[in-house]
Amino acid sequence: EAGVAQSPRYKIIEKRQSVAFWCNPISGHATLYWYQQILGQGPKLLIQFQNNGVVDDSQLPKDRFSAERLKGVDSTLKIQPAKLEDSAVYLCASSLSSGGTGETQYFGPGTRLLVL
């Protein structure tokens, strides 16, 4: 079974530029998550989708971050314009159903973003 795929793996941009990350979850997984992991910290949930609807985006800085999950499969996370403090690893995860139980979230390898 293929895991969660993410691209690109690394990205370096200058502040005020825009950037987009792509995630393909495990086939059949209804729920998709985007996390931000700043160096030295645990992952922090940015947004959660169930199918193509947003369940929670309370921690997403909506003035600069946006995310979509068209057709309930792939997802993109965009930052525009980027700030220095956006330097982090962006992790995508997926789970089989609603995530409301003790089910496992499966993580992709992450995209490491450096904003100069």
Contacts of residues 14-18 at CB distance under 8 Å and 24 or more positions apart, as own/partner, are 14/82, 14/115, 14/116, 15/81, 15/82, 15/83, 15/84, 15/115, 15/116, 16/81, 16/82, 17/81, 17/82, 18/78, 18/79, 18/80, 18/81, 18/82
Q: What is the amino acid identity at position 2?
A: A
Sign of CA dihedral 20, 36, 63, 82: negative
- Measured from the CB of residue 81, what is the shortest distance to other proteins in angstroms? 27
Which region among 14-22, 37-45, 66-74, 80-88 touches other proteins (by CB under 8 A)? 37-45
Q: Which of 54, 100, 114, 116 binds other proteins (CB under 8 A)?
A: 100
Which region among 13-21, 42-50, 64-72, 74-82 touches other proteins (by CB under 8 A)? 42-50
**Is position 105 an interface residue for other proteins (rule: CB under 8 A)?**
yes
Q: What 8-state DSSP symbol labels residue 105?
A: P
**Is position 2 an interface residue for other proteins (rule: CB under 8 A)?**
no
- Measured from the CB of residue 47, what is the shortest distance to other proteins in angstroms? 11
For other proteins, which is the closer residue by CB, 81 or 112? 112
Binding stretches for other proteins (CB under 8 A): 4, 31, 40-45, 48, 55-56, 91, 93, 98-102, 104-110, 112
